[in-house]
Amino acid sequence: MSRVAYSLPLGVALLAAIVGGACRDDPGPSASSSVASTTPPATGAANVEAAAKRLCESGDNRGCERLLEMYLTGKGVPQSDTKAAELNRSLCEGGRRSFCPSFAMALQEGRGVTQDKPRARALFVHTCDADPVACSEYGSLYANGLGVARDLELARWRLALACRHGDRRACEDLERF
């Protein structure tokens, strides 16, 4: 019943903006330049990463989602669970609560960070009331006995709460009980 909270949807507009920015023609150094550059020109993927970082740093969650996807999948950058977990941690601790469930899942699984199930559970509890996905993941911990004693009553209650708040997958998980 547990699902990985790392798969994040991307907005079509963001993708178009990033790809559009990465595909602009770069004239490179002019033929009249007598000094060769020692820095290789940025690749399209490097431009996408830089654009996603700028968007993320400016407060655009879609840019952060894109950057996380790149780190987790290795598309355009070296795959790094550590960088993904660190980015999730900094966003969550910086008040961007929509990233807390992903960080909690990283803590739960020990993916990119030292496994810390009690901290993961506390983070799920902290975000459960405001975030249906976090509440659903919290319920899944109890449904599956992941780092906690299995408690189907608590699992059902948390999944039902998440379902009522719009988490479709929580509704599907609840039906399996």
Structural domains present in the chain: 98-177 (1.25.40.10)
Reported as a pLDDT band with limits 50, 70 and 90, residue 140 is confident
Give the chain's mean pLDDT: 76
Mean pLDDT highest for which of 9-18, 86-95, 157-166?
A: 86-95
Region at 28 (left for phi over 0; alpha for psi -120 to 50; beta for the rest): left
Q: What pLDDT digit, counting tens, does each position of 147-170 carry? A: 778 889 889 988 998 898 888 999
| Global pTM value | 0.62
Rounded mean pLDDT, 114-132: 85
Give the 3-state secondary structure of the chain.
CCCCCCCCCCCHHHHHHHHHHHCCCCCCCCCCCCCCCCCCCCCHHHHHHHHHHHHHHCCCHHHHHHHHHHHHHCCCCCCCHHHHHHHHHHHHHCCCHHHHHHHHHHHHHCCCCCCCHHHHHHHHHHHHCCCHHHHHHHHHHHHHCCCCCCCHHHHHHHHHHHHHCCCHHHHHHHHCC
Share of the chain above pLDDT 90, in %: 36
Reported as a pLDDT band with limits 50, 70 and 90, residue 82 is very high
Is pLDDT of 134 > 60?
yes
98 or 79, which is more confident? 79
